[in-house]
Amino acid sequence: MERSRFKAAVWMVLVFAALVSALPCAAETPPLKVSGLAFGDIYWFAQSNNPAYQGQNGFWLRRAYLTFDQQWNPAWSWQVRLEADQTDFASTTSTAATPFLKTAFVKWDWAGGQSLLAGLQNAPTCRFYESQWGYRCVERTPLDLEGWASSVDAGLGLQGTVAGLPLRYEALAADGSFQKSLPAAQGQGKRFYLSLVCSPLDCLDLQAEGDLQNKVNDSQDGLLTLAQAFACLHGGPCRLGLLYAQRDLEPSGGQAFARQELVSAFGVWKAGDRLSLFARVDQLLWENDATNAGWTYSPAGLPYLELATGRHTLGVAGVDFAALDQLHVIPNLEMVSYESQSGEGVPAQDVIPRLTFSVTY
């Protein structure tokens, strides 16, 4: 069933592109661009907080993308991206990759560097950190990993630069249906995003970003706010990043206020033409216990890394070897340590050696 849906989606995109190419202006329309990305791991759960994962090992295709881009004219363009992933590597019944639509938007460029986007598009929350971190194939951004925000949302976006200033902005008014903690079937209201990136020096980028949503979970009205500050220093063979993020939840109906905090730091060093070293540490904190605030915090529940509930510190480090420009082989080690919960013991550490690959085409 998944394969037939994926084939149907591909054929829809190709038919749409063929119809566009048949328009009278087709002679001046650049051709359809097709590109892709796939990455996965050979993994071993040397230790896991989940007994079901303990000792497991194998091959895991985490993501495969197929992207269609076309520039209708200098002002108008569109993109459709299909994604497939293995939703549960622990399954004993199926290891088939599940296809779905990742992005689908139309873009209008106007007024000297300003752009208007409509449709399912990349959300501002994670995009800039991910571009500077540079190793999505190894691990998601911290906010995506913890389930605080999704990488995409559906709505109307505006982005561009401010004339005469080293300042870029990105705003999005969206449906919020693609947020991990709020299932789309519940109709969770709207989410608004605003990101500002300032580059006071050629080697320094500073970002301030905030989200506002009028639901705190799939059934509870209230106010969810997310704010983050990110700095990235880059020059020569090195780049360093530091992130602080805070999420506040104010449920309606008299339930208690809850706050969570997260910090993240990474470093990347290009040691040679085809060799780079990297490391990252994330720490999840909160000021008051989410359970006492009337809601239960649960991490994103990723199929390849099932984080235990509670405060934890994640570390990942590795070596990136570019066998080809299109092929990267990345041995790495990911570890997660946990703090004790009230009335509970300390969950076991996660220790996961992996050999990650990334292929572009």
Find the CATH number of the domain harbouring 75: 2.40.160.10
Task: Give pLDDT, residue 220.
Answer: 64
Given this model, what pLDDT does residue 201 score? Answer: 95
Residues of the chain short of pLDDT 70, as ranges, are: 1-29, 87-96, 177-188, 216-220, 253-256, 287-303, 341-344
Q: Decide: helix, strand or coil at residue 204.
A: strand
- Taking only the tens place, the pLDDT of each residue in 322-359 is 999 999 999 999 999 998 765 667 888 999 999 999 99
Looking at residue 319, its amino acid is V
Q: Cβ distance 279 to 266 under 8 Å?
A: yes
| pLDDT value at residue 177 | 67
**308: DSSP letter:** P
- pLDDT on residue 173: 95
Q: What is the pLDDT of residue 181?
A: 46
Tokens representing 200 are 């006071």
> In degrees rounded to 5, what are phi and psi of residue 216?
-100, -20
Please count the other Cβ atoms lying within 10 Å of the Cβ belonging to residue 201.
11
Which one-letter amino acid corresponds to residue 48? S
Instruction: Please name which of 54, 46, 43, 49 lies closest in space to residue 349, comparing C-alpha atoms.
Output: 49
Q: What angle (nearest 5°) sits at the alpha carbon of residue 159, between those of residues 157 and 160?
A: 165
DSSP-derived secondary structure for 223-238: EEEEEEEEEEEEETTE
Q: Quick one: pLDDT at residue 291?
A: 47
The percent of the chain in helix, strand and coil, each rounded to the nearest 5, is 10, 55, 35
The pLDDT score that the predictor gives to residue 340 is: 73
CB 69 within 8 A of CB 35: yes
pLDDT score recorded for residue 326 = 96
Tokens describing residue 101? 């639509």
The total domain count for the chain is 1
Please state, in angstroms and rounded to a whole number, the distance separating the CA atoms of residues 301 and 189: 23
Is there a contact between 134 and 113 (Cβ–Cβ < 8 Å)? Answer: no
Backbone phi, psi, residue 7, to 5°:
-60, -40
CB 126 within 8 A of CB 143: yes
Domain hosting 87: range is 2-360
Distance linking the first and last C-alpha atoms of the chain: 26
| pTM, to two decimals | 0.86
Residue 165's pLDDT is 92
Residues 6+ apart with CB under 8 A from 4: none
Q: How far apart, in Å, are the Cα atoms of 43 and each of 140, 226, 353? A: 17, 33, 6
Q: Token digits for 19?
A: 């119809």
pLDDT at 310: 77
